[in-house]
């Protein structure tokens, strides 16, 4: 490539860290920066990775496609299964069960949204649940899986899917993808960071063995340590633990129960005495963990309770993790961009961390800097990144706020707590008018919010006034929808068969 005097292109990028964030970033940089840019990743075998991010949401498929990854290879390499949504157990009331699907509840047949008709039918004695109107749940509850279709006349056009996968397997898979595209990997532990004394920009990182690695752009993927953004540049952390008080987790995978294995095509989240338990089925094992609040339970007790609630034989010892909910005030400062846990942490209740990694990577690609590092570019990056994180935060808090359980201190606290104004507005509007108020940068679509509101028993006082002008008794239509869902679910293959076919 010919160079000109005005060439301000960045020639050296260093990715610090080799967890999911590091290798997802390196794979994308390797794919996009094909010429004239050296991409290096440094990771420490001594420190290792968090390695527990196993449940995802549908945009991961776009990320893999952008990298040119073939689904078959990915599923084989990561022991992946398919995910249609999350079943919530014990959220709201102790005996509540509901499903947060990827997709919609039916298809709107009128300008008044379907959930208003369902609420009206319910008031007239209909006993069907809101979940009964969604194809993702019709498939999921029977252990079935199908591909969405484009034909909008079919109920199979109204859902989407993501994956459960082995996080270590994904990092290894992306590593070979990245290395095949020229990314250089250095193993070593960073012991120091050199800042330019005038500009405060990072110039190099120092490894414990004395090696010095220079770059122009640094991507901080160092996990909770936040080596560059948090430690070297001192970017403050905004603590959200008054809204999201869970601060620990214990993880303990188990074997599938004996007999033929048909993994559930969904994640399960069960509210417990001091937090909640995840269940994530992969091909070769089930991932389990208890996310809890250390004010209300100690580590040993949490591990014992989790061990007693597994579906199969425990595989390995419990692994404990500590965290604080919140985020750095900015994700991009000078020539450092944080991706992954170094930028902040939201508990995995809605499987959003890997998505936030992906979101920062796509913003980086949309707002890639040159050596001038114009602050207008990083300001825009931060505006979007913070908005995205804050909207997801609100959605997660919604689950805690809508708890009506009186049997544990944690739930009494979260039911009574104040929530961010942005969420208070949505709660109030839904309670009074049964409408979801959407805001810019909301990752979760109205149907996701409806699933949680209605699933956790937040039944609204009013309905859309337009419903009374329409003169439609939707009970027949809702009944026909349920029949169409049952028909499609019955002819779909079992999830295990679907996974085997996807790998063939
Ligand atoms: C309990 C729990 C459950 C989770 N479940 C989910 C989920 O279901 N879905 C989801 O999307 N997300 C989930 N997450 C989040 C997910 O695990 C992370 O977003 C993801 O793994 C990315 O982590 P990371 O790459 O940022 O950090 P890490 O995996 O911690 O990687 C950090 C890297 O930095 C390197 N490093 C650190 N310090 C140094 C140093 N001094 N020198 C050299 N290298 C260094 C480490 O060696 C490592 O390679 C969960 C998180 C937790 C805590």
pLDDT tens profile 29-70: 999 998 889 999 999 999 999 988 799 999 999 999 999 999
User: Mean pLDDT score of the chain, rounded to an integer?
Assistant: 96
Backbone angles phi, psi at 496, to 5 degrees: -60, -40
CA angle 405, 410, 414 (to 5 degrees): 75
Identify the residue whose C-alpha is closest to ligand 1 atom 35: 17
Identify the residue whose C-alpha is closest to ligand 1 atom 53: 321
Q: What is the DSSP letter of 272?
A: E
Mean pLDDT of 192-219: 98
- pLDDT score for 4: 57
User: What digits encode the pLDDT tens for the residues 64-104?
Assistant: 999 999 999 999 999 999 999 999 999 999 999 999 999 99
The rounded Å distance from CA 223 to ligand 1 centre is 5
Token reading at 193: 């960071």
Distance CA 140, CA 130 (A): 15
* pLDDT tops 90 at residue 107: no
User: What digits encode the pLDDT tens for the residues 226-281?
Assistant: 999 999 999 999 999 999 999 999 999 999 999 999 999 999 999 999 999 999 99
- pLDDT score for 10: 97
Q: Is 329 a catalytic residue?
A: no
In this predicted structure, which of 107-116, 344-353, 381-390 has the lowest mean pLDDT?
107-116
CA-based torsion, 424, 425, 430, 435: positive or negative: negative
Say what percent of the chain tops pLDDT 70.
Answer: 99
Mean pLDDT of 101-126: 93
* pLDDT tops 60 at residue 2: no
Distance CA 329, CA 352 (A): 19
Mean pLDDT of 175-179: 97
- pLDDT score for 1: 45
Query: Which residues are within 8 A (CB) of 406 and not within 5 positions of it... i.e. 6 or more apart?
Result: 412
- pLDDT score for 53: 72
Mean pLDDT of 120-135: 96
CA angle 311, 314, 318 (to 5 degrees): 120
The rounded Å distance from CA 341 to ligand 1 centre is 6
Q: Name the maximum alpha-carbon separation found in the chain.
A: 77
Banded model confidence at residue 5, pLDDT cuts 50, 70, 90: low
The rounded Å distance from CA 448 to ligand 1 centre is 26
User: What digits encode the pLDDT tens for the residues 294-336?
Assistant: 999 999 999 999 999 999 999 989 999 999 999 999 999 999 9
Decide: helix, strand or coil at residue 104. coil
Distance CA 91, CA 13 (A): 44
> What is the number of alpha carbons within 13 Å of residue 358 lying toward its C-beta?
18
Residue 60 CB burial class (10 angstroms; 0-12, 13-18, ≥19) = buried
The rounded Å distance from CA 187 to ligand 1 centre is 17
The structure's pTM equals: 0.97
CA angle 293, 294, 299 (to 5 degrees): 115
Q: Provide residues with CB under 6 Å of ligand 1.
A: 17-22, 42-44, 47-50, 52-56, 167, 189-190, 221-223, 225, 227, 249, 289, 321, 323, 340-342, 348, 351, 353-354, 357
CA-based torsion, 291, 295, 296, 299: positive or negative: positive
Q: What is the DSSP letter of 307?
A: H
Decide: helix, strand or coil at residue 431. helix
Banded model confidence at residue 123, pLDDT cuts 50, 70, 90: very high
- pLDDT score for 473: 87
Identify the residue whose C-alpha is closest to ligand 1 atom 37: 222
Banded model confidence at residue 109, pLDDT cuts 50, 70, 90: confident
* pLDDT tops 70 at residue 291: yes
CA proximity to 222, closest of 401, 21, 52, 53: 21
* pLDDT tops 80 at residue 492: yes
List the catalytic residue out of 12, 83, 144, 363. Answer: 83
């Amino acid at each position: 490539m010919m160079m000109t005097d005005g060439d301000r292109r960045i020639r050296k990028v260093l990715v610090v860290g080799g967890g999911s964030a590091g290798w997802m970033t390196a794979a994308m940089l390797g794919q996009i920066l094909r010429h004239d840019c050296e991409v290096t990743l440094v990771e420490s075998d001594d420190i290792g990775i968090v390695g527990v991010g196993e449940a995802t949401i549908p945009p991961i498929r776009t990320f893999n496609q952008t990298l040119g990854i073939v689904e078959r290879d990915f599923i084989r390499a990561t022991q992946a299964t398919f995910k249609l949504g999350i079943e919530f157990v014990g959220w709201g009331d102790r005996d509540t069960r509901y499903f947060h699907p990827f997709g919609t509840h039916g298809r709107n047949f009128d300008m008044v949204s379907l959930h208003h008709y369902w609420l009206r039918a319910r008031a007239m004695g209909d006993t069907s649940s809101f979940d009964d109107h969604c194809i993702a749940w019709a498939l999921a509850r029977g252990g079935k899986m199908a591909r969405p279709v484009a034909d909008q006349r079919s109920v199979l056009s109204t859902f989407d899917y993501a994956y459960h996968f082995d996080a270590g397997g994904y990092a290894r898979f992306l590593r070979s993808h990245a290395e095949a595209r020229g990314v250089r990997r250095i193993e070593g532990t960073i012991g120091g960071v050199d800042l330019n004394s005038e500009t405060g920009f990072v110039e190099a990182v120092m490894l414990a063995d004395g090696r010095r690695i220079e770059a122009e752009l640094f991507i901080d993927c160092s996990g909770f340590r936040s080596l560059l953004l948090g430690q070297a540049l001192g970017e403050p952390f905004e603590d959200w633990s008054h809204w999201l008080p869970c601060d620990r987790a214990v993880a303990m995978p188990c074997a599938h129960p004996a007999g033929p294995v048909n993994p559930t095509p969904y994640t399960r989240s069960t509210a417990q005495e001091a937090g909640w338990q995840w269940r994530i089925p992969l091909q070769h094992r089930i991932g389990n963990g208890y996310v809890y609040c250390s004010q209300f339970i100690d580590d040993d007790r949490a591990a014992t309770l989790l061990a007693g609630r597994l579906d199969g034989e425990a595989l390995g010892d419990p692994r404990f993790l500590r965290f604080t909910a919140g985020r750095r005030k900015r994700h991009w400062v000078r020539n450092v961009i944080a991706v992954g846990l170094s930028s902040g942490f939201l508990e995995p209740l809605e499987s959003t961390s890997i998505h936030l990694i992906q979101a920062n990577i796509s913003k980086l690609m949309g707002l890639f800097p040159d050596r001038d590092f114009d602050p207008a570019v990083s300001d825009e990056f931060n505006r979007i990144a913070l908005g995205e994180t804050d909207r997801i935060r609100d959605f997660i808090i919604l689950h805690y706020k809508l708890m009506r359980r009186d049997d544990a201190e944690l739930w009494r606290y979260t039911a009574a707590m104040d929530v961010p104004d942005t969420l208070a507005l949505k709660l109030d509007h839904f309670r009074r008018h049964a409408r979801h108020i959407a805001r810019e940068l909301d990752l979760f679509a109205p149907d996701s919010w409806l699933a949680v509101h209605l699933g956790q028993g937040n039944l609204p006082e009013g309905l859309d006034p337009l419903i009374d002008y329409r003169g439609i008794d939707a009970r027949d239509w809702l009944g026909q929808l349920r029949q169409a869902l049952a028909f499609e679910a019955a002819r779909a293959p079992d999830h295990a068969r679907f996974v085997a076919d996807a790998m063939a």
